[in-house]
Homo-oligomer: A and B are copies of this chain.
């Protein structure tokens, strides 16, 4: 039997694109075709799947597909397994139950053969809000083959779920010829190896090949990396590319000849969601330290960020990027990544907006960076406007602009000018904040925190340094070393540096990772070797800056635990 793995790439709700993809496969090759979870609709849908306009389109596609299948597959020995939705309506026509299912499409039309059992409902996942769990056995018998069916989360089990679909499948069907998992699995750094390890384990358990088909795409903040695979336990028969559509055809009968490990029951290796969700703190050091990112991980990160940026721009139909450069490292890395992400039909522009407190080397570094990257740099000083607004405030309110109000106005002036330029040339503003700043509220609302999307909002400042150095190693020193070496500063007052307000970034980032990913208490962090006063300070900055994060732009998610949709905390609390 031929096995066709389709690692597809479609926007949410792209019903025409999905149908075209299927038609483009004509003539349909015989054998078993696998498509990702919710291939027909996209994922995550959230409230979209409840909107009747969306439901009408889903049902239209099903009708079209059913007719197409009866006309085109009747003479083929082909079976298409596609992720999609199955709606059950109440007597008022409202969706009573929505199932996340596998549709089997062949010459007889469309038929539901499986519904997802484990509905992830933690972190970014809200599936129990929308979907009803399935109870189908998960076995498809086709052409003398016995095929086990799973959808995404079904292959994991954890304290989040009582059920264990892999175990159940194995207990009732220890003799399968193939186990398949249709997935829409959100990416984070290092997740791929864990999926593969778990896939191998399942293959060993069933003594049968395991096919994992994942989607590709960037949906707002969430990335889907693809990286589908077929494994026979030890070997990787095929592995789909990351970050792009990919497909392959494999003769299954030539695969299933390997010797499998004598596993008699599912082990616990890599089969809990918690093990998938590893935070990055080395607790043995005193104080605890953020893990160092390997070159491979930094490569992976570069590709993930570039993909995420391209996706968001293309889905919002932007042909231009706009970045405010300051001579600091965050904006330098953003500009370098945006330049690397740029497609031939796209343009990019940098705007340098010096104020009274901008050092002269900030200009030099910015100019050198733009020169290295071959990006046009516009010079739009804010001094004159700042000065005239200072006078206006003094005149009207009888109060000088000082302290925070004088700092913030510079940042907001820049935000305003940047967006005016963005209106003028229809360019997408890329935000330049990093995760450390975001976590402690070290930014100005409507100022440096503006943007359509945040590229570095899931990277701590120390990781911004690591990635900048990595980019420089890979791409011949794009970022001037002066930018990397100078002490970080917002340049909003005379002689300002980040370290006047914050602990050194190595410690700050480790404390933040403890608070955010491990959800540690102040007491615990103190036990891991941090100064109590410092932890309390960071903890309070974090707790009191929720209002800024609430109005922040979507952040490209590259870590297991990120700010954004999966991070839900009240603004007001004691």
Report the Cα distance A445→B312, complex, angstroms: 18
Within 8 A of B (CB), among A9-30: 11-17
A462 and B181 CA atoms in complex are apart in Å by: 51
Q: Which of A96, A397, A409, A570 has the most CB of B within 10 A?
A: A570
- Interchain CA distance A571-B567 in the complex, whole Å: 18
Q: Among residues 28 to 66 in chain A, which have CB atoms less than 8 Å away from a CB atom of chain B?
A: 42, 44-48, 50-53, 55-56
Q: Which residue of B lies closest to A378 (CB)?
A: B396
Binds B, one of A78-86, A226-234, A243-251, A398-406: A398-406
Copies of this chain, whole number: 2
| Cβ–Cβ < 8 Å partners of A399 in chain B | 424-425
A574:B12 contact, CB within 8 angstroms:
yes
Residue in B46, B121, B419, B523 whose beta carbon sits within 8 Å of that of A408 in the complex: B419
Which residues of chain B are within 8 angstroms of A96 by Cβ–Cβ distance?
159
CB-based contact B446/A423 at 8 Å: no
Contacts of A553 in B (CB 8 A): 550-551
Residue A415 is within 8 A (CB to CB) of chain B in the complex: yes
Contact A452 B574 (CB under 8 A): no
A573 within 8 Å of B by Cβ? yes
Contacts of A419 in B (CB 8 A): 408, 412, 445-446
A260 to chain B, nearest CB (A): 32
Interface size class on chain A is 35 or more
Complex contact A522–B446 (CB within 8 A): no
Do the beta carbons of B416 and A393 come within 8 Å of each other?
no
Are B446 and A416 in contact, with the CB atoms below 8 A? Answer: yes
A385 at the interface (CB under 8 A from B): yes
Closest partner residue, chain B, to A385 (CB atom): B385
- Chain A, residues 409-422, CB within 8 Å of chain B (1/0): the string is 10011011101110
Residues of chain B with a CB closer than 8 A to A396's CB: 378-380
- For A446, what are the chain B residues with a Cβ–Cβ distance below 8 Å? 415-416, 419, 446, 450
Q: Which residues of B contact A121 (CB under 8 A)?
A: 121, 128-129
Cβ of A22 to closest chain B Cβ, rounded Å = 16
A310 at the interface (CB under 8 A from B): no
How far does the Cβ of A314 sit from chain B's closest Cβ, in whole Å?
9
B389 touches A385 (CB 8 A): yes
- The chain B residue sitting closest to A11, CB to CB, is B574
Chain B nearest Cβ from A132, distance in angstroms: 10
Q: How far is the CA of A413 from the CA of B389 in the complex (A)?
A: 11
Q: Is A219 an interface residue (CB 8 A)?
A: yes
Provided the pairs A412-B416, A523-B56, A570-B219 are in contact, do residues A404 and B385 lie with their beta carbons within 8 angstroms? Answer: no
Residue picked from A90, A423, A550, most chain B C-beta under 10 Å: A423
Asked whether, in the complex, the Cβ of A316 is within 8 Å of the Cβ of B570, the reply is no
Q: Chain B residues with Cβ under 8 A from A416's Cβ?
A: 409, 412-413, 415-416, 446
In the complex, the answer to whether B409 meets A392 with C-beta atoms within 8 Å is no
Which residues in B have their C-beta under 8 angstroms from that of A312? 572
CA distance A399 to B425 in the complex (A): 9
**Structural contact, A408 and B420, CB atoms closer than 8 A:** yes
Distance between A509 CB and nearest chain B CB, rounded to angstroms:
19
CB of A520 within 8 A of chain B? Answer: yes
CA distance A408 to B420 in the complex (A): 7
Question: Is A547 in contact with chain B by the CB < 8 A criterion?
Answer: yes
User: Which residues of B are found within 8 Å of A521, using beta-carbon distances?
Assistant: 51-53, 55-56
Residues on B with beta carbons closer than 8 Å to the beta carbon of A519: 47, 50-52
The distance in angstroms between the C-alpha atoms of A384 and B387, with both chains bound, is 13
| Shortest Cβ gap from A557 to chain B (Å) | 14
Tell whether A126 is near chain B: CB-to-CB under 8 Å: yes
* A421-B397 contact given A47-B567, A47-B569, CB 8 Å threshold: yes
User: Given A56-B523, A126-B568, A396-B379: A17 and B424 within 8 A (CB)?
Assistant: no
Which residues in A have some Cβ–Cβ distance to B below 8 Å?
11-17, 42, 44-48, 50-53, 55-56, 90, 96, 121-122, 126, 128-129, 159, 219-220, 311-312, 315-316, 378-380, 384-385, 388-389, 392-393, 396-397, 399, 401, 404-405, 408-409, 412-413, 415-417, 419-421, 423-425, 445-446, 450, 452, 519-524, 539, 547, 550-554, 567-574
Listed A/B pairs (21) with beta-carbon separation below 8 Å: A11-B574, A12-B572, A16-B574, A47-B569, A51-B521, A52-B524, A53-B521, A53-B523, A53-B539, A121-B129, A220-B571, A380-B392, A380-B396, A384-B392, A389-B420, A405-B424, A408-B420, A412-B419, A412-B420, A419-B446, A551-B552
- 4 A-B pairs with least C-beta separation: A405-B423, A53-B521, A315-B572, A52-B521
Known: A122-B129, A412-B420, A419-B445. 14 other contacts (CB 8 A): A11-B573, A13-B573, A45-B570, A48-B573, A53-B520, A53-B523, A56-B523, A219-B572, A316-B571, A399-B424, A404-B423, A408-B420, A409-B416, A551-B552
